[in-house]
A = this chain, B = another copy of it.
Amino acid sequence: MSTAEPRRVIATVCLSGTLEDKLAAAAAAGFDGVEIFENDLIASAAAPAEIRQRCADLGLTVDLYQPFRDFESVPPELLRANLRRAERKFDVMEQLGADLVLVCSTVSPDAVDDDELAAEQLRLLAERAAARGMRVAYEALAWGRFVNTYEHSWRIVRRADHPALGVCLDSFHVLSRGGDPALIRTIPGEKLFFLQLADAPRLDMDVLQWSRHHRLFPGQGSFDLQTFIGNVLSTGYAGPLSLEVFNDVFRQADPKPAAVDAMRSLRLLEEQLGFPVAEPAPRLSGHAFVELAVDRESGARIAGTLAALGFEATGEHGSKPVRLWEQGGARVLLNAKSETPGSAEIGALAVESADPSSSALRAEAMHAPILPRTRGPEEANLASVAAPDGTEVFFCGAGSGSWLADFAGAGAAPVPGLGITGIDHVALTQPFDHFDEATLFYRSVTGLRPEPIAEYAAPFGMVRTRGVADPTGAVRLALTGTLVRRGEWAPAVRDPQHIAFACDHVLAAARTLRERGAPVLRIPDNYYDDLDARLDLGEEVLAQLRANSVLYDRDEHGEYLHVCTEMLGSRIFFELVQRIGGYAGYGVPNAPVRMAAHRRQRLAAGSG
């Protein structure tokens, strides 16, 4: 396999905005070129020659003009009209500086099922193109009327036998139909004129709708793009890797981060293909700490709750209003930097890396924004990057790394507390536009592996949760988002976040918390009545769970006990979780009950 980096191209249709917005975003994210989607050009007030200049100024090539539809296999009078149409588009391409046009297999009711006619007419088109120094890439749409497999498009291209006519392969059109990409190897590389890449979730639906609304960037869906592209590269294909993703969310999202997300997806893909992108992600061995940004009011409430949970304040930062709380391997930093009354949210999370410097280098190679760090002269040099939701992600050395030295009094032996041993997971609600981006970010930047998506009905709308975790479960993040962006009616806590502490004895801990008067979230009797009906846990266990508001879940691998605190500020709460056996989830079936309970808490406090 070649080690030269491939050219990276993005179709303007992937991004939101006017053509000018899209070009600027693509260039800023580091793409080498673009496919110009015709409708983007048509709506632009800039002449094609001006777009060409704009692209040149931005360092972008125009690699493809697309799509040209419903050309082939038509009666003579329609052929004349189609050739006229093509010449007009060649005029546009000439000014645009594009020499390759995408022709999609026909869906026209006027076309006939005749490969020989298709080849003959495409050859005519290729002759016209060649006369102007252009080429034609013929693509089989998955829903093409007669031609809907790449094998079929290749048969026609081979039959037409013109140097200016080749095949365009689109991973969606091939893989959505369950096509066998191995046959790609039978196509000579020089006849593969273009390669379009899209991933997608596995959906059982009309392929046209699936394609137009639900495509994803590579690594965000479930297609095996690595094998697919491996076959393409084995032919000697040396053209660009080009993203063509139709997605309803990306289409209305800020194009700048969307283009970075796209670029990151390509980098990850290149790495999987064996290109030298970055050092492999160093192994992560645990959560080093979570830092909460709080104001004085929520800070006091959270400190009190941490104390009730058995945490001990073990240090003060040398130069900032930050206090360290510890228990077992769990560390929470309270940073009293917020000035919004009641505000409390996760400002940063830190993971322990086997090689923090390599982690930082990899993050940079994966287009994670490296954050500037203001340090005092004595302070630890921790590299950090910004996740799509703005959370700062630090890479620390394993164990009680050097960052602890920033805290005076640090190193004091943690108290036994409530049996909390560490941070089990951190739950982060993702902004609607950035859910898939967030998964890809953690996967590509930190090497955490995405788990399956769980979708469920919560009291105020459909929600999805997806874990990203290291293979041993030492680092877990639970990413949560809504299926439909919330509107005005959203009385639930907006975008709640929580830290889940691992605890060996959740029932006992919950009992202690109750005795200490800690703000444990009250779970209603109806929940326990249902638990009893469903699972028959026995009267004694049930009574204990009920008395202490402990939630329960089980699957084929094990059991899960968890207890939540009330909201301790604008959007933060804590959870104690106990995994028994091989349970690897996050208690998702109980999430709606927890959300309704937090709403009640807010209503009772008069702020719901």
A contacts, CB < 8 Å to B:
13, 16-18, 21, 38-48, 81, 84-85, 88-89, 91-92, 203-206, 209, 213, 248-249, 251-255, 431-433, 457, 459-462, 482-491, 522, 524-527, 529-530, 532-534, 536, 592-593, 595-597, 599-600
Q: Which chain B residue has the least Cβ–Cβ distance from A490?
A: B252
Nearest 10 A-B pairs (CB), nearest first?
A: A252-B461, A205-B205, A88-B533, A254-B489, A43-B596, A204-B206, A45-B524, A485-B485, A85-B533, A43-B593
In the complex the two chains form, what is the Cα distance from A88 to B535 in whole Å? Answer: 11
B17 touching A491, Cβ below 8 Å: yes
Q: Which chain B residue has the least Cβ–Cβ distance from A91?
A: B529
Given A89-B533, A487-B432, are A524 and B462 neighbors across the interface (CB < 8 Å)?
no
Nearest CB of chain B from residue A382's CB, rounded to whole Å: 30
In the complex, the count of this chain's copies comes to 2
A21 contact set on B, CB distance < 8 A: 491
Contact for A44 among B89, B255, B526, CB less than 8 A: B526
In the complex the two chains form, what is the Cα distance from A493 to B491 in whole Å? Answer: 28
A522 contact set on B, CB distance < 8 A: 45
Nearest CB of chain B from residue A78's CB, rounded to whole Å: 12
Given A42-B530, A526-B42, are A18 and B489 neighbors across the interface (CB < 8 Å)?
no
Given A45-B524, A203-B206, are A461 and B81 neighbors across the interface (CB < 8 Å)?
no
Q: List 12 A-B contacts (CB under 8 A).
A: A17-B491, A42-B526, A42-B593, A44-B524, A45-B524, A46-B526, A203-B206, A248-B461, A248-B483, A251-B461, A251-B462, A252-B482
A251 contact set on B, CB distance < 8 A: 457, 460-462, 484
Nearest CB of chain B from residue A84's CB, rounded to whole Å: 7
Nearest CB of chain B from residue A26's CB, rounded to whole Å: 16
Q: Which chain B residue has the least Cβ–Cβ distance from A257?
A: B489
Q: Which chain B residue has the least Cβ–Cβ distance from A526?
A: B42
Extra pairs beyond A18-B596, A84-B536 (15, CB < 8 Å): A16-B461, A45-B526, A46-B524, A47-B526, A85-B533, A89-B533, A91-B529, A203-B209, A204-B206, A205-B205, A251-B461, A252-B461, A252-B484, A252-B490, A485-B487
In the complex the two chains form, what is the Cα distance from A418 to B489 in whole Å? Answer: 45
B457 touching A88, Cβ below 8 Å: no
A253 touching B44, Cβ below 8 Å: no
B248 touching A484, Cβ below 8 Å: yes
Given A43-B526, A45-B524, A487-B433, are A252 and B92 neighbors across the interface (CB < 8 Å)?
no
